[in-house]
Structure 1
């Protein structure tokens, strides 16, 4: 655990007592502070009280008297679509509002580091799509290279649940916009921006607010080095803001699909080859085409970002290439589930928005596409032109018929995963890929995208025997 520093004897309120909130309360207590928590769910309050954590209804008048700070769990909206009444009460009382990410960054470094040969480093990854794969890939490369590393944040462990860092340790954090938006301290050594596409717009008051939440990772203190995906205008803008000139190699620009050259530090993938270009010359090249854990241009962008981080940490290109070859992939993210009779089955349940689904659709040549669910704001227009490889769509979800009507390919309304998998497998031919890439949230039928992906895997496995 990372004890929270600078809270000795202070009372800190924690709003939301799920995984991150309960861990934050424990870390506050470990640092000598006094956590008081609140959650609308009685079971969550009981779990906290069972650990000796005091609960206090933060909705009550005067609840913030003698409270030093309010720590808000990332799943709780604070400003949009409407101000959260507890957060508003804290602000009106002059109480600072933070989250577990902010507590981590202010508490991670300790005087023990004076005895280390190599200070620990923090790599933080954000963006709309690919941040989980990029984070896991960085962690995998470091482990394969024999570097001590931990993975946390929106993937793996909660940030305050990490082990105190060892000499030379690297902590890799996946951070969502929910996590960067409120953190009062954001000081990674290396920060990564993968890409931006519309998502969580209600939570951030629109696309500008969503980008602003991501941008905070680079503006609140500023990393020593930034790895920026420049395939969208927002990434180009961010790289331009952080760079002092064309040759400033503190910014590593990353692309999938376009060649990047010039005096700076660039890493890009074209036609399946990753290329590092530095100081106006090529310094390395890696063939990504046969790496099964990284199919498609979107995963090649993830590989470029992970490669750039590893290079910034001092790893040699050949060491990185060897590690990329052994990357197994993540569950529910371009996960190769099975191959039988010349047909490949891929679980990309994490493709919960149209941009992520479009990227998945570009990775395979002939697709039996399982899609549908709770449609997000903005509709499906962004899928136009991205379905050229789709032989047929099999649509799930409570509003499957309406979803199917918006697609520009032949579509069959299946409603359930069981029916969709059964129909796709019955019609698939050798050379096809049966792909789950929903382009929608899962909450109309499942608790989360993981449960949806697991259902897909189970249906496939059952039928293949």
Structure 2
């Protein structure tokens, strides 16, 4: 646990009592503060009371008298589409609003660091797609070379729940737009921006607000080195804002769409090969084509970003290449479940939007595509350009018929995952890939994408093969 600094002897309100909220309350108490906990649900309040925390109704008049700060969980809206009542009350009372990410960055360093030979460092990863895989890959590479490391944030443990730093340790954080938008301190040593595609637009008041939330990771204090995917206009803009000249190697540009050889430092992938260039010459190359844990161009982008970040930490190209080969990938993200009768079964339940589904569809050949769920705003028409390798689609969930009408691909309306897997497996031939890439949220049939993916895995494992 990281004891929170700066609030000793003060009352600090904590809103939202899920995993990160309870960890925040514990870290505040460990730092000498008095946490006042609240959750809009009785279940959340019961969890806090069971953990020994006092509940304090933050929606009542005068609730913020004598309160030094409000720490809110990332999923609770503070601006769009409508501010939570407790957050609005805190702002009206002039009480600073922060989150656990802000508390982490103000509390991470400790006096014990004076005795370390090598200062601990923080790598923070944000973006629309690929940030979980990139974060996990950086963590895996560090583990493979014996570097002390912890992984936290939007993946793994809550940031305040990790252990205090040891000599030379690297903490790798995945940060969502919800987390970067509100944190009052954002000071990573290395910051990574993977890419940008429309998502969470209602929460951020549009695409501009969404990008602005991501951009804060690079503007609030500024990292020592930035790794920026430049294949979208927003990434190119961000890179331009950071660099003082083309040769500025505090910035590492990343691409999977073109060669980047004319900058101070760049990493790009073309035709399955990763290349690192510095000051106009190539210094390293890695063949990614047979790295089973990183299939497709979207994962090659993740590989480039992780490579760049770990090179910035001083690792050698061959160390990174060896770690790539042992990376198994993340659950529910282009995860190969089984091969039965020459048919490959891939679980990409995390592909909840059009952009991530498109990347999955581009990564495989001879696809039997399972898609659908609770469709998102804007529809799935953009996927028409990515259907060349789809032999047949099997649509499930609330939006099954909408997907069928919008895409015009050969399909079957299956409604349920059971029927989709049964039919796709029966019709698949050797060399085919049965791919779950829903392009939709899971909430019509499952509580989250993990449960959806787990159900797919269960059904695949039950197939005779």
TM-score, scaled relative to structure 2: 0.99
Please give the alpha-carbon distance, in whole angstroms, between the structure 2 residues aligned to 1:450 and 1:180: 23
For residue 121 of structure 1, what is the aligned residue in structure 2?
121
Aligned length: 465
1:129-278 alignment runs, 5 A limit:
129-278=129-278
Kindly indicate whether the alpha-carbon contact (under 8 Å) linking 1:257 and 1:271 is maintained by their aligned counterparts in 2: no
Which portions of structure 1, spanning 4 or more consecutive aligned residues, are displaced by more than 4 angstroms? none
Please give the alpha-carbon distance, in whole angstroms, between the structure 1 residues aligned to 2:133 and 2:174: 9
For residue 355 of structure 2, what is the aligned residue in structure 1?
355
For residue 18 of structure 2, what is the aligned residue in structure 1?
18
Kindly indicate whether the alpha-carbon contact (under 8 Å) linking 1:124 and 1:191 is maintained by their aligned counterparts in 2: yes
Q: CA deviation at 1:403?
A: 2.1
Kindly indicate whether the alpha-carbon contact (under 8 Å) linking 1:11 and 1:68 is maintained by their aligned counterparts in 2: yes
Name stretches of at least 5 consecutive residues in structure 2 with no aligned partner.
none
For residue 323 of structure 1, what is the aligned residue in structure 2?
323
Q: CA deviation at 1:51?
A: 2.3
Please give the alpha-carbon distance, in whole angstroms, between the structure 2 residues aligned to 1:252 and 1:145: 22
> Is the partner of 2:426 in helix, strand or coil?
helix
Kindly indicate whether the alpha-carbon contact (under 8 Å) linking 2:375 and 2:398 is maintained by their aligned counterparts in 1: no
Q: CA deviation at 1:181?
A: 0.8
The Cα offsets for residues 323-368 of structure 1, whole Å up to 9 and x where unpaired, read as 0011011100000000111110000000000000000000011100
Whether 1:94 aligns to 2:118 is: no
Q: CA deviation at 1:257?
A: 2.5
The Cα offsets for residues 152-198 of structure 1, whole Å up to 9 and x where unpaired, read as 00111000000001000000000000111110000000000000000
> Is the partner of 2:254 in helix, strand or coil?
strand
Please give the alpha-carbon distance, in whole angstroms, between the structure 2 residues aligned to 1:281 and 1:139: 28
Q: CA deviation at 1:384?
A: 2.3
The Cα offsets for residues 198-244 of structure 1, whole Å up to 9 and x where unpaired, read as 00101111100000100010011010000000010000000000001
Q: CA deviation at 1:35?
A: 0.1
TM-score, scaled relative to structure 1: 0.99
> Is the partner of 2:370 in helix, strand or coil?
strand
Q: CA deviation at 1:111?
A: 1.2
Please give the alpha-carbon distance, in whole angstroms, between the structure 1 residues aligned to 2:380 and 2:231: 21
Q: CA deviation at 1:402?
A: 1.9
> Is the partner of 1:424 in helix, strand or coil?
helix
Kindly indicate whether the alpha-carbon contact (under 8 Å) linking 1:370 and 1:394 is maintained by their aligned counterparts in 2: yes
For residue 45 of structure 2, what is the aligned residue in structure 1?
45
Kindly indicate whether the alpha-carbon contact (under 8 Å) linking 2:371 and 2:394 is maintained by their aligned counterparts in 1: yes
> Is the partner of 2:87 in helix, strand or coil?
helix
For residue 393 of structure 2, what is the aligned residue in structure 1?
393
Please give the alpha-carbon distance, in whole angstroms, between the structure 2 residues aligned to 1:123 and 1:109: 15
Q: CA deviation at 1:263?
A: 3.5
Please give the alpha-carbon distance, in whole angstroms, between the structure 1 residues aligned to 2:199 and 2:235: 16
Please give the alpha-carbon distance, in whole angstroms, between the structure 2 residues aligned to 1:26 and 1:382: 45
Please give the alpha-carbon distance, in whole angstroms, between the structure 1 residues aligned to 2:404 and 2:182: 38
Please give the alpha-carbon distance, in whole angstroms, between the structure 2 residues aligned to 1:281 and 1:312: 17
Please give the alpha-carbon distance, in whole angstroms, between the structure 1 residues aligned to 2:67 and 2:402: 50
Please give the alpha-carbon distance, in whole angstroms, between the structure 1 residues aligned to 2:203 and 2:30: 32
Whether 1:305 aligns to 2:313 is: no
Please give the alpha-carbon distance, in whole angstroms, between the structure 2 residues aligned to 1:118 and 1:403: 53
For residue 63 of structure 1, what is the aligned residue in structure 2?
63
> What RMSD over aligned residues (CA atoms) do the two structures have, in Å?
0.8
Please give the alpha-carbon distance, in whole angstroms, between the structure 1 residues aligned to 2:245 and 2:80: 37
Please give the alpha-carbon distance, in whole angstroms, between the structure 1 residues aligned to 2:241 and 2:388: 37
> Is the partner of 2:67 in helix, strand or coil?
coil
Name stretches of at least 5 consecutive residues in structure 1 with no aligned partner.
none
Q: CA deviation at 1:71?
A: 0.4
Q: CA deviation at 1:406?
A: 1.1
> Is the partner of 2:182 in helix, strand or coil?
coil
Please give the alpha-carbon distance, in whole angstroms, between the structure 2 residues aligned to 1:277 and 1:387: 34
Please give the alpha-carbon distance, in whole angstroms, between the structure 1 residues aligned to 2:87 and 2:453: 35
Please give the alpha-carbon distance, in whole angstroms, between the structure 1 residues aligned to 2:418 and 2:135: 32
1:411-426 alignment runs, 5 A limit:
411-426=411-426
Kindly indicate whether the alpha-carbon contact (under 8 Å) linking 1:387 and 1:408 is maintained by their aligned counterparts in 2: no
Kindly indicate whether the alpha-carbon contact (under 8 Å) linking 2:311 and 2:317 is maintained by their aligned counterparts in 1: yes
Whether 1:430 aligns to 2:422 is: no
Kindly indicate whether the alpha-carbon contact (under 8 Å) linking 1:195 and 1:230 is maintained by their aligned counterparts in 2: yes
Please give the alpha-carbon distance, in whole angstroms, between the structure 2 residues aligned to 1:35 and 1:232: 42
Please give the alpha-carbon distance, in whole angstroms, between the structure 1 residues aligned to 2:329 and 2:315: 21
1:440-459 alignment runs, 5 A limit:
440-459=440-459
